A and B are shown apart, each in its own frame.
Chain A
Amino acid sequence: MKRNLFILLLAATTAFAGYGIYYRCATSPARTLVTQRGGEMEWLRNEYHLSEAQFSRVQQIHREYAPRCDLMCGKIGKANARLDQLILANTTYTPEVAAAMKECLAVQGECREALLAHVYAVSAEMSPADGARYIAMMKSRIVEPGVGSTAVISQSAK
């Protein structure tokens, strides 16, 4: 009886240990990337099978793009804040609100253009198949940022 109990306990212990060890080992790389600073670039490297040379070129493109991205981010923030202020300060659609709205849309358009150019530049460094997959992944953010591309369908287009 004791021997049987020992065997059952051994089977249960082995099962728990096997589960724990396998799960930890299998998820460790992804968990490390999530917690590590700049893990998203490492994720890009793994996900799109970038070689050392490809990855260093992509990093270079990313470094060149980062200050422009920051600048545009600031511009969007300013334009949004101005529009926000004017919408609350006015009760009708004044030329000032219209101008602020146009400014907002212009800045957003500029950003999306820059983003698309960056996406093409990065995808050009990848293999054709991975590049196409990368463009498809980024497409939704450029076509309709914040909203799924299938969510905006006009009644006449149906």
Chain B
Amino acid sequence: MNTPDRDDLSAKLRAWTVEPQVPGSFQREVWQRIAVRQTVRQEAFWPQLVAWVSALLARPQYAVALVIVSLSVSVGVAHVQAQSANATLGKMLEARYATSIDPLAMSR
């Protein structure tokens, strides 16, 4: 049942277009907000970590454990590096010994 009012409304609806007005600074503002949130999150991470470590170190057993673990790791690294250094020095001594009994090597 068409009435003149409905036809008028339909015509208006068909003719209606939406043109959203996005401000020129929209993108910049979005990125600024993202950057601010990231900074806030990063800044929050370090104080949290410091607080957590401080809480742990307040207990003597954790403090002692930290010292023991640091010492163990450093001695482990030193052991691996010393083995490598000893192997190199051993090769040098081996070459020196072989040269000391090899006239061909000595004459070079």
Contact = CB atoms under 8 A, between A and B. Distances in A.
Interface of A: 1, 3-4, 7-8, 10-12, 14-16, 18-20, 22-23, 26-27, 30-31, 33-34, 39-41, 43-44, 47, 62, 65, 69-70, 72-73, 76-77, 80, 108, 111-112, 114-115, 118-119, 137-138, 141, 145-146
Contact of B89 (A33, A118, A145): A33
A104 to B, nearest CB: 11
Question: Which size bracket describes the interface of B in this complex?
Answer: 35 or more
Nearest to B65: A11
A65 to B, nearest CB: 7
Interface in B74-108: 74-75, 77-79, 81-83, 85-86, 89-90, 92-94, 96-98, 100-108
Interface of B: 53-54, 57-58, 63, 66-67, 70-71, 73-75, 77-79, 81-83, 85-86, 89-90, 92-94, 96-98, 100-108
A137 B70 CA distance: 40
A4 B83 CA distance: 35
A43 B94 contact: yes
Contacts of A77: 107
A19 B75 contact: yes
Interface residue SS majority, chain A? helix
Contact of B78 (A18, A34, A141, A146): A18
Contacts of A10: 67
Contacts of A18: 70-71, 74-75, 78
A72 B81 CA distance: 41
Contacts of B66: 7-8, 11
A141 B86 CA distance: 23
A111 B70 contact: no
Nearest to A138: B98
Given A19-B78, A43-B90, A69-B102, 13 more contacts: A14-B71, A18-B71, A19-B75, A22-B82, A30-B85, A30-B86, A43-B94, A62-B101, A73-B107, A76-B103, A111-B102, A145-B105, A146-B104
